[in-house]
A = this chain, B = another copy of it.
Amino acid sequence: MALIVAKFGGTSVASPERIQMVAKRLIAIKQAGDDVVAVVSAMGKTTDELVGLARAISKNPPKRELDRLLSTGEQVSMTLLAMAIEASGYRAMSFTGRQAGIQTDTDHSKAKITLIHADRIITAVKAGVIPVVAGFQGIDQNGDITTLGRGGSDTTAVAVAYGIGADVCEIYSDVDGVYTADPRVAPRARKLDQISYEDMLELSGAGAGVLQSRAVEFARKYNVVIHSRSAFSDAPGTLIKEADSSMEQAVISGIAHDTSEVKLTIRHVPDMPGIAARVFSALAGNSVNVDMIIQNISEDDFTDITFTCPEDDLERAEEVIQGSLERIGGRDYVVDTNIAKVSVVGTGMKSSPGVAAKAFQALAASDVNIQLISTSPIRLSVVISGDQVDLAVRSLHTAFDLDSDKVFEETMLSAEELEAKKNKGR
């Protein structure tokens, strides 16, 4: 008999009908003889709608109030799910973050979990009840509700799994696991049976959207096994866990890509110490998340500074550069929004030299020009033209022997699933 945490995202609880499907799933786990604790996100686009209401009233709403407002979204879905379970003849009980004993720091809208005190959940499970916990929220030392930010519900699920000593934290979503690449881009992508925390973190950081990095980090820290699987099928998904010997055979776990970044180049900047520091501390101070940085070789004591950042941060980044261009002596700057980052990820890289060489050869063979390169011990990322992203992913996928015999067809997804993919919430 296992103890399972099952987390369902906003798409899975977007309507009363879907909530009833989730209830059926939870009851099936119960009927199989296991105990289960559910964690839910807010229904569909509820959170966005609540944010919209707040913004209609205030440009800069007080964060205590905003967190309280947003936390109602999960309180609606959790009560409805509890009702659906009870309507099927099983016992259920909903728990807010506070009731679930999820304590956080006071950093409203991006609070970090500091402690989980899950006695009430454990008591409920022992009494035969299916507890339904509101994701995304906790309570701080002042007794105020906090929210955990994007990906918060996955993190709640992992924290609850740790707090109650669950055997596994199942994260249900509209994808059926972790693939060696995005199957819509690389139709020969394979679903992985398992992947190490490290590789998963690199893949998430490099653009694979299946799991939030933060939840994976939490799981790694407390050694919680995550099972990423489909909300629409019973097929097993991918286990994310500590690397074991069987995992080490694969050099490369997967190819990730990310088209949400933009590239900025500040041109003709004096090549003097402190210039880059000035630019990047100004960017950091304005909450621009700089990803990759490259500085060209100096010519006549002038250089170009290039960096990438999320498209969402572009406006702020341009303001910063515009404001500091004169001060740093730069000539002008250019923006390129048509870029993509493609990453090769694998713990096996550490003990297997030649990965970079193989990747560059594969890209060259496909006439893909590399604009920027960055590496970590288990990841190699290149920035290329946005038009070539599919080609690059496929070339690398083939070059690293990841191709499956079976070809993934986009038509395997229903229209609803495709829509759901697009609307995927937190």
Contacts and interface: CB of A to CB of B under 8 A. Distances in A.
Interface string A59-95: 1111011101101100110011011101100001110
A411 interface: no
Contact of A72 (B60, B72, B84): B72
Interface stretch (A48-56, A328-336, A353-361): A48-56
A156 interface: no
A58 interface: yes
Closest 8 CB pairs of A and B: A16-B56, A58-B87, A69-B79, A72-B72, A61-B83, A65-B79, A58-B83, A65-B82
Interface residues of A, number: 34
A135 to B, nearest CB: 15
A45 to B, nearest CB: 15
Given A16-B57, A57-B80, A83-B57, A69 B62 contact: no
A68 B61 contact: no
Interface of A: 16, 19-20, 50, 53-54, 56-62, 64-66, 68-69, 71-72, 75-76, 79-80, 82-84, 86-87, 92-94, 99, 143
> Copy number in this complex?
2
Contact of A58 (B72, B75, B76, B86): B86
A68 B62 contact: no
A197 to B, nearest CB: 35
A64 to B, nearest CB: 8
Contacts of A54: 79-80, 83
Given A16-B56, A19-B57, A75 B86 contact: no
Contacts of A94: 65, 68
B79 A75 contact: no
11 contacts: A53-B80, A60-B87, A62-B83, A62-B92, A65-B92, A65-B93, A65-B94, A66-B83, A69-B76, A72-B72, A72-B75
A272 to B, nearest CB: 45
A75 B69 CA distance: 7
Contact of A82 (B60, B62, B75): B62
A83 B66 CA distance: 8
Contacts of A53: 16, 76, 80
